[in-house]
């Protein structure tokens, strides 16, 4: 399962949506085996009337513009990380008391409410832990704003068909976009990232690759147009560097300053020149948010001029090196609704799967039923010509007929076998042939059945015995028995005899 | 609205709710769609088995019928063969009237021929409204041994069966070569039942 997830994560896409006062920017990123690639990017003007005083006034109008921008650059991805577009926003690092509160979230919320930026407003806050202070006390990076403004933003995004995964400040997205190239591996110098959004400047310090300091300042006017604002920014930078030199005692450490100018980023060269002249010992770089070179991500042909903030937002969902700053200002209710929707979607999928499985089972049953019906019809057709009952009647009839015939044959046989059915001529001829010369027959008598009595005279007993033996060997006579033999008294010495023969039974008719 | 309500409930309740809905749906679909089909298929399969059994039985019955038909044919042929051994009334009449000429043909001298009758005694009633009766005759004749054998051969050498019930051959007192022969013969005559009853 883990392997599958890793495999899926390898090819995951992610969408970042950045909304500011005058512009909407989208960036679609894809994680490939070779790293992250910016697949598509698009920017468009925010519709007039949709945004006012740094907040969403007309969610429907904004939603329409986002939809149009998405469809213009053919981005179908719905899940996205969105920049926190609300004003005022509290962005600060809070030191936690020695005895850590049980619920840090509640503590942060309570503290944020007391902040001058958001006085007694219905606010929502997000926080994440950062490195401890020099004194060792725990610190949290906190972002808070009015909940109503976030809800308005959520409404616009929902209408635009975007499923919001997270809402985070543009500053964090900016750091995330620059992290791999500017911050990661930079151990010998502090990195100061400055995000200029009109008159608002957010200064973030990364020390030893870790988020360490943040300050949000109003520099008066747009830095692109105002010399005063540039001076103001330079002073802020100088203050931070001095603060680190004095408080953290890192005077010897190098500084790298990256300034990102939002909106159209005009006069970056001028601003860069100004800052370089002010801080000649430092590495200074001023870039526009549109298509900077400071990102380590390859940009596809459809992603030229991708918004740095939008890219940073999209990176949040990808498995790439990034600062450990995870703040989500999505309203808890929306998050819950999102979870409910996810659950409902899973349930719906399961229901569809069950329905589909049932339909498949029904289909299989139906096919089997049709096949069985076909077989039954074929068998019925085969049997239609003869019914079993007819066959049984016919069988009984034939049996009766056969029995009657057998009976008749038996009767006839019985009738005929009451007498000898053999050939008398052959029997008599056989007797004549078996008669020795010294013996003669005076009478032959046969009666009903198969008995035959032969009587006569002989000159000797031997001749009589020979005669009996010869008769016994005949194939027509079954047995011959000497019944009587008596010598006649007188001069001729003849012997009278009587032989009973049993004839071979014949087979009747 | 529903989403808000569901969002307020715990995840366990939601899972239980979804599970219950899916379960009810699955049971309902099973009862409405799958079960009738399954039962129908089961019934059809059972019917198929019954039809198959019936077909097998019919094949066996048909085979038996063929064998029975052959047996009946064989028995009919056997009976027909047996009936050829019986005389018709006309044949019997002709036979008895020809006995003397048979004696003459065998060069024997017929001394007497007595017809014993038994015509009115029905021996067997056959199935096809036929009856068998016997008719006997006592014959006395004289001749040589060979002539008597010849007479017997002629008497019995015919398709119909002539049963010699008794036979006695003995020498004549006067002549050495002349033998006397007394025999009683019986023949079986097949009659139509109606004709026989009327007679």
What lies within 8 Å, CB to CB, of B76 at 6+ separation is A405
**Cβ-contact A210, A179 below 8 angstroms:** no
Which residue is closest to A431 within chain B, CA to CA?
B145
Whole-number Å distance between alpha carbons of A67 and A76: 10
- Which pTM was predicted? 0.56
ipTM above 0.95 for this complex: no
Contacts of A445 in chain B (CB under 8 A): 166-170
For testing the chain B interface, which of A344, A428, A445 should be mutated: the one with the most B CBs within 10 Å? A428
The distance of A50 to chain B (nearest Cα, Å) reads: 26
User: What local confidence, expressed as pLDDT, does residue B123 receive?
Assistant: 66
User: What local confidence, expressed as pLDDT, does residue A17 receive?
Assistant: 93
User: What local confidence, expressed as pLDDT, does residue A103 receive?
Assistant: 82
User: What local confidence, expressed as pLDDT, does residue B46 receive?
Assistant: 93
B38 interface with A at CB cutoff 8 Å? yes
Task: Of A200, A470, A446, A331, give the one whose Cα is nearest residue B166.
Answer: A446
B window 111-140, beta carbon within 8 A of A: 123-124, 126-127, 132
User: What local confidence, expressed as pLDDT, does residue A121 receive?
Assistant: 67
Q: Is B34's CB within 8 Å of A361's CB? A: yes
Cα angle value B172/B178/B183 (rounded, 5°): 70
Whole-number Å distance between alpha carbons of A50 and B56: 84
Please state the three-class secondary structure of A207-260 as a single string. Answer: ECCEEEEEEEEECCCCCCCCHHHHHHHHHHHHHHHHHHHHHHCCCCCEEEEEEE
Whole-number Å distance between alpha carbons of A320 and A318: 6
A463-499 CB burial, b ≥16 within 10 A, e <16: bbebbbebbbebebbeebebeeeeeeeeeeebbebbb
**Cβ-contact B164, B157 below 8 angstroms:** no
Which residue is closest to B73 within chain A, CA to CA?
A402
Residue A189 C-alpha from the chain's centroid = 50
**Cβ-contact B107, B143 below 8 angstroms:** yes
Q: Is B79's CB within 8 Å of A432's CB? A: no
| Total residues belonging to chain A | 509
* Residues facing residue A285 across a β-bridge: A258
Q: Is A509's CB within 8 Å of B82's CB? A: yes
What lies within 8 Å, CB to CB, of A8 at 6+ separation is none
pLDDT in tens, B46-84: 998 988 888 888 888 888 888 989 999 999 898 888 888
CB-facing half-sphere around the CA of A280: CA atoms within 13 A: 1
Q: Is A366's CB within 8 Å of B153's CB? A: no
What does DSSP say about strands A35-45 and A298-299: parallel, antiparallel, or unpaired? parallel
Number of Cβ within a 10 Å radius of residue A32: 13
Contacts of B19 in chain A (CB under 8 A): 347
Contacts of A391 in chain B (CB under 8 A): 58, 61-62, 65
The distance of B96 to chain A (nearest Cα, Å) reads: 19
Of residues A351, A391, A442, nearest to B25 (C-beta):
A351
Contacts of B37 in chain A (CB under 8 A): 362, 365-366, 369
Q: Compute the mean pLDDT over every residue in chain B, rounded to the nearest whole number.
A: 84
Query: What is residue B15's three-state secondary structure?
Result: helix
Which residue is closest to B23 within chain A, CA to CA?
A351
B24 interface with A at CB cutoff 8 Å? no
What does DSSP say about strands A439-446 and B179-192: parallel, antiparallel, or unpaired? unpaired
Task: Of A414, A413, A418, A432, give the one whose Cα is nearest residue A477.
Answer: A432
Phi, psi values for residue A411, rounded to 5°: -60, -45
A342-376 CB burial, b ≥16 within 10 A, e <16: ebbeebeebbeebeeebeebbeebeebbeebeeeb
A412-438 CB burial, b ≥16 within 10 A, e <16: beebbbbbbbbbbbbbbbbbeebbbeb
Of residues A343, A405, A446, nearest to B76 (C-beta):
A405
The distance of B110 to chain A (nearest Cα, Å) reads: 18
Contacts of A402 in chain B (CB under 8 A): 68, 71-72, 75
**Cβ-contact A468, A452 below 8 angstroms:** no
Whole-number Å distance between alpha carbons of A413 and A458: 40
User: What local confidence, expressed as pLDDT, does residue B52 receive?
Assistant: 85
* Residues facing residue A222 across a β-bridge: none
pLDDT in tens, B157-168: 888 888 888 889
Contacts of B165 in chain A (CB under 8 A): 419, 447-448
pLDDT in tens, B168-191: 998 876 666 788 999 998 888 888
Q: In what order do the strands lie in the sheet with A123-130?
A: A89-95, A139-146, A123-130
Whole-number Å distance between alpha carbons of B40 and B25: 22
Contacts of A425 in chain B (CB under 8 A): 149-150, 152-153, 156
Which residue is closest to B146 within chain A, CA to CA?
A429
User: What local confidence, expressed as pLDDT, does residue A85 receive?
Assistant: 84
Whole-number Å distance between alpha carbons of A310 and A18: 5
Of residues A386, A419, A425, nearest to B186 (C-beta):
A419
In A362-468, beta strands by DSSP E? 439-446, 451-458
Whole-number Å distance between alpha carbons of A102 and A107: 9
What would the mean pLDDT of B13-20 be, rounded to a whole number?
A: 87
B window 62-91, beta carbon within 8 A of A: 62, 64-65, 68-69, 71-72, 75-76, 78-79, 81-83, 85-86
Query: What is residue A42's three-state secondary structure?
Result: strand
Of residues A379, A388, A444, nearest to B61 (C-beta):
A388
- Residues of chain A with confidence (pLDDT) below 50: none
Task: Of A79, A87, A37, give the one whose Cα is nearest residue A297.
Answer: A37
CB–CB contacts below 8 A, A to B: 196
Q: Is A412's CB within 8 Å of B52's CB? A: no
């Amino acid at each position: 399962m883990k392997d599958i997830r890793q495999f899926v994560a390898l090819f995951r896409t992610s969408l970042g949506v950045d909304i500011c006062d005058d512009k909407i920017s989208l960036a679609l990123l894809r994680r490939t085996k070779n790293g992250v690639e910016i697949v598509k990017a698009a920017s468009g003007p925010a519709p007039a009337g949709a945004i006012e005083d740094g907040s969403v006034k007309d969610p429907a109008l904004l939603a329409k513009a986002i939809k149009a921008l998405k469809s213009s650059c053919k981005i179908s991805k719905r899940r996205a990380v969105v920049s926190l577009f609300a004003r005022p926003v509290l962005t600060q690092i809070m030191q936690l008391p020695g005895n850590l509160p049980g619920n840090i979230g509640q503590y942060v919320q309570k503290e944020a409410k007391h902040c001058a930026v958001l006085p007694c407003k219905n606010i929502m806050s997000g926080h994440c832990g950062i490195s401890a202070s020099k004194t060792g006390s725990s610190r949290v990076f906190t972002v808070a704003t009015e909940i109503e403004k976030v809800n308005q933003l959520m409404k616009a995004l929902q209408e635009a068909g975007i499923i919001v995964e997270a809402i985070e400040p543009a500053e964090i997205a900016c750091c995330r976009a620059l992290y791999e190239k500017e911050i990661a591996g930079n151990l010998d110098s502090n990195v100061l990232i400055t995000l200029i959004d009109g008159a608002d400047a957010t200064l973030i310090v990364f020390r030893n690759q870790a988020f360490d300091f943040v300050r949000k300042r109003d520099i008066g006017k747009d830095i692109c147009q105002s010399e005063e604002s540039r001076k103001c920014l330079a002073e802020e930078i100088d203050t931070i560097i001095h603060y680190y030199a004095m408080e953290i005692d890192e005077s010897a450490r190098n500084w790298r300053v990256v300034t990102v100018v939002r909106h159209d980023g005009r006069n970056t060269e001028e601003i860069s020149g100004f800052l370089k002249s002010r801080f000649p010992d430092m590495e200074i770089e001023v870039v526009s948010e549109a298509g900077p070179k400071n990102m380590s991500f390859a940009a596809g042909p459809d992603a030229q001029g991708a918004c740095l903030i939008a890219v940073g937002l999209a990176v949040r969902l990808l498995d790439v090196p990034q600062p450990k700053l995870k703040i989500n200002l999505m309203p808890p209710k929306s998050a819950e609704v999102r979870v409910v929707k996810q659950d409902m979607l899973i349930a719906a999928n399961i229901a569809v799967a069950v329905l589909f499985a049932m339909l498949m089972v029904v289909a299989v049953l139906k096919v089997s039923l049709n096949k069985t019906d076909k077989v039954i019809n074929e068998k019925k057709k085969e049997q239609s010509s003869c019914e079993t009952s007819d066959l049984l009647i016919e069988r009984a009839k034939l049996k009766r007929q056969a029995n009657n015939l057998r009976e008749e044959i038996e009767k006839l046989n019985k009738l005929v076998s009451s007498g000898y059915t053999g050939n008398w001529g052959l029997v008599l001829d056989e007797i004549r042939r078996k008669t020795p010369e010294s013996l003669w027959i005076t009478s032959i008598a046969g009666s009903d059945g198969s008995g035959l009595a032969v009587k006569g005279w002989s000159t000797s007993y031997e001749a009589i015995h020979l005669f009996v033996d010869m008769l016994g060997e005949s194939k027509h006579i079954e047995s011959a028995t000497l019944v009587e033999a008596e010598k006649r008294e007188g001069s001729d010495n003849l012997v009278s005899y009587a032989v009973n023969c049993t004839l071979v039974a014949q087979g009747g008719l | 609205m529903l989403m808000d309500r569901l969002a307020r409930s715990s995840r366990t309740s939601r899972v239980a709710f979804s599970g219950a809905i899916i379960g009810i749906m699955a049971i309902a679909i099973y009862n409405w769609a799958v079960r009738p089909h399954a039962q129908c298929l089961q019934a059809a399969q059972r019917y198929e088995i019954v039809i198959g059994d019936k077909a097998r039985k019919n094949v066996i019955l048909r085979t038996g019928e063929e064998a029975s038909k052959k047996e009946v044919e064989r028995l009919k042929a056997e009976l027909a063969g047996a009936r050829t051994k019986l005389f018709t009334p006309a044949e019997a009449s002709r036979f008895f009237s020809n006995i003397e000429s048979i004696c003459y043909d065998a060069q024997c001298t017929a001394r007497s021929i007595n017809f014993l009758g038994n015509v009115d005694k029905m021996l067997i009633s056959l199935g096809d409204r036929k009856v068998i009766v016997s008719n006997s005759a006592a014959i006395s004749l004289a001749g040589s041994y060979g002539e008597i054998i010849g007479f017997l051969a002629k008497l019995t050498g015919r398709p119909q069966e002539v049963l010699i019930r008794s036979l006695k051959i003995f020498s004549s007192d006067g002549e050495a070569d002349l033998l006397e022969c007394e025999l009683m013969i019986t023949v079986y005559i097949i009659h139509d039942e109606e004709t026989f009853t009327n007679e």
